[in-house]
Copies of this chain bind each other. A is one copy, B any other.
């Protein structure tokens, strides 16, 4: 393993290591003639900068961390795309981490990111325990919440989940449903509890009691969780309508119900959340709540980089998008 470093390049180009460094970092400071000479040497020797050394010296790396709940969820994939597009313009890198909805994995990921001295972290937190994040910020790492509202001292980009829950539920109620089920992951996940609160608000607006809504909590917010929920639905008796906290759950529910001979929407109405691409292509096209996923990632990254570039003059912002109801066959009588 031959390690060609900055000083070999320097020797080859007949300059000092300092000049090579300048070519890499502030090309404008070095005379055009020597610059091309150095660039040739770099090409000839196949030199690639040692990121560790550069990070060590500079005190921070040219990477940001993105911690999401589930890389298997197209929602977060779309968010990641937004992040990637902004970041690659500034030739930074994204370290994508998956917390799998587990606080332990989230903590492990954050430790790795802290070790890597990332400039900043975009995170969809697993729960409301902000202590880990606070420690990160104390260490000088900028943090922006993604899909999670925050209070004054930190930036956040989110979508109004209470409004979304209300939208979905009001739509189901307008369709004539009276007994509802809410399928979601652990209530510690804010998206779940907020969407539930929205559902309850809709019930109240409609003059219905809160116990018209039955909670079904499953451990994982994916298709498998959805199938588990369907088992409960089938054994406990079907409600008029089912509201799932995301589309993966809804697809799982839909699948399991169909296999059991239950027809959607005839026997039970169904609505999901996120409006991922697959929802419209499902066996029964899925009604859902649309969110600006790509925008979420994009804007969050812009806020993060702004804070990194000017920590002092940066004013924290909390952005809140509004979700949108998308009606398809699964909830139309």
Contact = CB atoms under 8 A, between A and B. Distances in A.
Contacts of A95: 93, 95
Given A140-B1, A285-B283, A116 B56 contact: no
Contact of A2 (B111, B139, B283): B139
A53 interface: yes
Contacts of A319: none
A188 interface: no
Most chain B CB neighbours (cut-off 10 Å) among A53, A74, A111: A53
Interface in A253-308: 254-255, 277-278, 280-285
A276 B283 CA distance: 15
Contacts of A96: 71, 96
Contacts of A112: 51, 93
A30 interface: no
A42 interface: no
Contact of A115 (B49, B59, B81, B88): B49
A251 interface: yes
Nearest to A222: B277
A77 B84 contact: no
Nearest to A73: B77
Copies of chain A in the complex: 2
A76 B46 CA distance: 31
Given A74-B72, A77-B71, A281-B282, A1 B52 contact: no
A61 interface: yes
A48 B111 CA distance: 8
Given A74-B72, A283-B283, A117 B277 contact: no
A223 B281 contact: yes
15 contacts: A2-B140, A49-B115, A51-B112, A52-B55, A52-B56, A53-B56, A56-B56, A84-B98, A88-B108, A93-B95, A223-B277, A255-B281, A282-B283, A283-B283, A283-B285
